[in-house]
Amino acid sequence: KVLLASICVAYLAVKWTSPWFDAESLKGARVLVTGASTGIGEQMAYHYARFGAQIVITARREKVLQQVVEKCLSLGAQKALYIAADMSSESEPAQVVDFALEKLGGLDYLVLNHIGPSPFSMWTGDVDHTRWLMNVNFFSYIQMAWRGLAALEQSRGSLVIVSSLLGKMASPFVAPYTSTKFALNGFFGSLQHELAMNKSNVSLSICTLGLIDTDSAMEKVKGVISVPAYPASDAALNIIITGATRQLDLFYPWFTYVVAACKDMFPSVTNFIIQNSFTYSP
Ligand code: NDP
């Protein structure tokens, strides 16, 4: 109990000492958001639009992107453009960054959020899918980050990585997905050190999310697990604030911080809870 209380107090102390968010700072900000046709990415696009940012969004489905762009303009975006791209391709991730740099004349926020679809099921040996998912959820991230880094350095910008509690704690039925998120946390955790040691102008935020009520997530966990899902719009706003206030990380909802901090202290308890949270019979 004392340990748990200390972890909660540590979390609150970090939150209370966080820098103040100035919404005005996003007016005219040049932003690229990936995976913005649906879910959290779509909600981020709408928030940036309300703050008066200039936005480029991307995903694969052009028609849906078109509708999101129209809504962004109606919500107050100074500029809203889209580019359809497949992040499993070798060349398209870099082309998306180049498009944003050209259309916006630079970049203040690079928000990497997309994920490829992946089954919610026991691992049955599909290595090809895992390799493909690594391309979409990991390799495209590091490619885009590298392509955008010089522009972010120039603008004193922010790189925001949307990750998951499953990037810190493995769970059943998501082996390929959780591997991609662990890879992201490892890579960008290392990059955070390097940017700091180089006294870089770029801030790098890694966002750890719990279950969020997007259609794709809800479809997967329906009837299998009963964990509360948090609203995508609120998750999106928290990610944006984390980037704008140049914080190293976000834990949303707050208790993901406690779960991540406790999981290695009590591994057998954590494993028991995880394995018994699912409705499953072999
Ligand atoms: P969604 O499944 O709702 O959205 C995924 C987005 O990625 C869509 O815009 C989709 O658009 C795009 N996308 C899919 N495949 C590709 C591809 N090959 N190339 C380019 N774009 C692609 O995801 P969420 O909003 O639920 O999740 C957003 C982020 O939040 C992810 O990083 C996820 O890991 C993280 N997260 C989500 C949680 C949740 O419970 N929802 C929990 C923890 C973390 P299109 O199909 O048009 O290409």
Domain CATH code at residue 68: 3.40.50.720
Q: Is the pLDDT of residue 280 over 90?
A: no
Query: Token pair of 147, please?
Result: 């392509």
Residues with CB under 6 A from ligand 1: 35-41, 59-61, 64, 86-88, 113-116, 136, 162, 164, 209, 211-212, 214, 216-217
Range of the structural domain that residue 258 is part of:
24-77+95-116+125-271
Per-residue confidence (pLDDT) for residue 119, from 0 to 100? 94
Q: Under DSSP, is residue 84 helix (H, G, I), strand (E, B) or coil?
A: strand
Looking at every residue in the chain, the average pLDDT score rounds to 95
pLDDT higher at 272 or 31: 31
Q: Determine the average pLDDT of the residues in 165-186.
A: 97
Count: domains in the chain: 1
211-229 pLDDT tens trace: 999 999 999 998 888 788 9
Peptide bond into 119 cis (omega under 30): no
Q: Is residue 216 part of a domain?
A: yes
ipTM above 0.90, yes or no: yes
Residue nearest to atom 24 of ligand 1 (CA): 39
Q: Determine the average pLDDT of the residues in 254-276.
A: 90
Q: Is residue 160 part of a domain?
A: yes
Q: Is residue 12 part of a domain?
A: no
Sheet architecture: strand order including 79-84: 79-84, 54-59, 30-34, 109-112, 158-164, 203-209, 249-252
User: How much distance in Å is there from the Cα of 5 to the middle of ligand 1?
Assistant: 34
Residue nearest to atom 14 of ligand 1 (CA): 116
Q: Is the pLDDT of residue 16 over 70?
A: no
Q: Is residue 132 part of a domain?
A: yes
Q: Is the pLDDT of residue 11 over 80?
A: no
84: left (phi over 0), alpha (psi -120 to 50) or beta: beta
Q: Give residue 241's pLDDT band: very low, low, confident or very high (50, 70, 90).
A: very high
Q: Is residue 223 part of a domain?
A: yes
Residue nearest to atom 9 of ligand 1 (CA): 35
Active site residue 177: yes
Per-residue confidence (pLDDT) for residue 193, from 0 to 100? 98
Q: Is residue 6 part of a domain?
A: no
- Out of 41-50, 84-93, 139-148, 214-223, pick the least confident: 214-223
Q: Is residue 281 part of a domain?
A: no
Q: Is the pLDDT of residue 78 over 90?
A: yes
Residue with the two structure tokens 């926020």: 109
Q: Is residue 181 part of a domain?
A: yes
User: How much distance in Å is there from the Cα of 114 to the middle of ligand 1?
Assistant: 4
> What element of type H or E holds 73?
helix 62-75
- Nearest Cα neighbor of 53 from 12, 127, 110 is 110
Is the Cβ–Cβ distance between 220 and 278 less than 8 Å? no
